A and B are shown apart, each in its own frame.
Chain A
């Protein structure tokens, strides 16, 4: 079974440019998460989706960040315009109701590393 797939793995852009990250969760997982991970720190939640609905986006900087999950499957995280401080790894994770209830396990992708110059 395929895991959580993210693309691109690496992205280098200049500040003020836009950037987008894509995530395909594990088939059947209706909960999707975007996390931000700065160097040397643990992941921090940006937004959580239950199907198409963003149920927790309190940590998403809405002035420049946006996310969508059309049809409740794939998701896209966008930054426009990017700033130097946005350089980080953006992780996508998914979980299914049964799995979450029983083990609390999140399945993570490999992440998208963003460098803003």
Chain B
């Protein structure tokens, strides 16, 4: 199963875009990239996922490089409530229930 590498922590000013990177250089062709976040004292929450095309939903945008070896989660206008740990996960295609969360990136949104 592919592993991911994320920075341990990042800071972002409130109202600015937060760009969270993730490296997944060993990803295989059929594996998807998923992002979850975990706010303090809560369970993880799904944000977005993608295979090779960029994706956008009401929460965030996901940019996947053409070689699929890295991706970036973009929170367009970060708020204080976006302060959380963000997990980048690569999910094997035929093992829908195997998630390796890793340690994630702690995003600190500051006023």
Q: Interface of A with B (CB < 8 Å)?
A: 4, 31, 33, 40-45, 48, 56, 91, 93, 95, 100-101, 103-111
Shortest distance between the CB of B92 and any CB in chain A (Å): 10
Contact A41 to B96, CB < 8 A, known contacts A105-B46, A111-B43: no
Would you list the 6 A-B pairs with minimal beta carbon distance, nearest first?
A108-B43, A42-B101, A105-B46, A100-B96, A43-B101, A42-B102
Shortest distance between the CB of B83 and any CB in chain A (Å): 16
Q: Which residues of A contact B45 (CB under 8 A)?
A: 108
Alpha-carbon gap, A45 to B41, bound state (A): 18
18 other A-B residue contacts (CB within 8 Å) besides A4-B43, A106-B36? A40-B103, A41-B103, A42-B100, A42-B104, A43-B101, A45-B99, A48-B97, A91-B44, A93-B43, A101-B96, A103-B46, A104-B49, A106-B44, A107-B46, A108-B42, A108-B43, A110-B41, A111-B43
**Chain B residues bordering chain A, tally (CB within 8 A):** 22
Is there an interface contact between A95 and B97, defined as CB atoms closer than 8 Å?
Answer: yes
Chain A, Cβ-Cβ closest to B97: A48
Q: Which of B3-43 contact A (CB under 8 A)?
A: 32, 34, 36, 41-43
Alpha-carbon gap, A107 to B45, bound state (A): 7
Contact A33 to B97, CB < 8 A, known contacts A42-B102, A110-B41: yes
5 contacts between A and B (CB under 8 A): A4-B43, A42-B101, A100-B97, A104-B91, A108-B45
Alpha-carbon gap, A105 to B91, bound state (A): 11
Alpha-carbon gap, A93 to B44, bound state (A): 9
Alpha-carbon gap, A63 to B43, bound state (A): 27
Q: Which residues of A contact B98 (CB under 8 A)?
A: 45
Alpha-carbon gap, A1 to B11, bound state (A): 34
Chain B, Cβ-Cβ closest to A55: B97
Q: Which residues of A contact B96 (CB under 8 A)?
A: 100-101, 104
Alpha-carbon gap, A111 to B99, bound state (A): 17
